[in-house]
Amino acid sequence: MTTLGVNIDHIANVRQARKTVEPDPVQFAFLAELGGADSITVHLREDRRHIQDRDVFLLKDTIKTQLNLEMAATDEMLGISKKLLPDYVTLVPEKREEVTTEGGLDVKKNEKNLKNFVKILKNSNIKVSAFIDPESNQINYSKEVGFDFIELHTGRYADLKGDAQYEELQKIIESTYLANDIGLVVNAGHGLNYQNVKKIASINNMNELNIGHSIVARALAVGLEKSVRQMKSLITSN
């Protein structure tokens, strides 16, 4: 059964807009878990635009599910992750000028550096995932580098309509099967919402979907616990 990881970065975005103490993403993680979240995802960015260091350490100490730390493959983040020891790390590309993560990590281009980075994390008993586009060469290189998981970037699928969206869905399905065949666990995320999530959730052996923006947006109307519960219901109704 596909599980749900809830990204709470956007809660921290509201807090950081005023550089104050509320809303506290750590408290909202508790509500997400009450709603059925199977894991909590946060992206600790270089510029600390939303999630802060204190958030990740408090989350590690307080949440009852799993902590997925999204981060760039930098020395600073490596040091933090070795102190934090999250349940797993998802390596993502990161550019200061982007609003949110755009596109997947180029594992092929960065194979040598990533192989050493992943090895260090795994030596600390941290499982490691690569956020990649649904492309066969990126999947194969992810296996070669030593990743335990991949997270397929669903942003293009979310943006497309009609036949083009169907074609992108087929790429995601084929990518999932390929990754499973070579021993990788498959997650997916980016741009998923209450209208487009079911087709991704119904893919055989899809492990987990990481969703943030659409859940937080709906929470403005119905509350976070209920918005998580509604998304969980869509994902598990197959």
Which residues belong to the active site? 43, 70, 190
C-alpha distance from residue 178 to each of 93, 138, 174, 216 (Å): 23, 11, 6, 32
Which is nearest to 14 in space by CA: 213, 169, 222? 213
Longest C-alpha distance within the chain, in Å? Answer: 47
234 contacts 31 by C-beta, under 8 angstroms: no
Tokens of 179: 């990754």
Of 114, 174, 172, residue with least CA distance to 143: 114
What are the C-alpha distances in Å from 100 to residues 50, 97, 170?
11, 9, 25
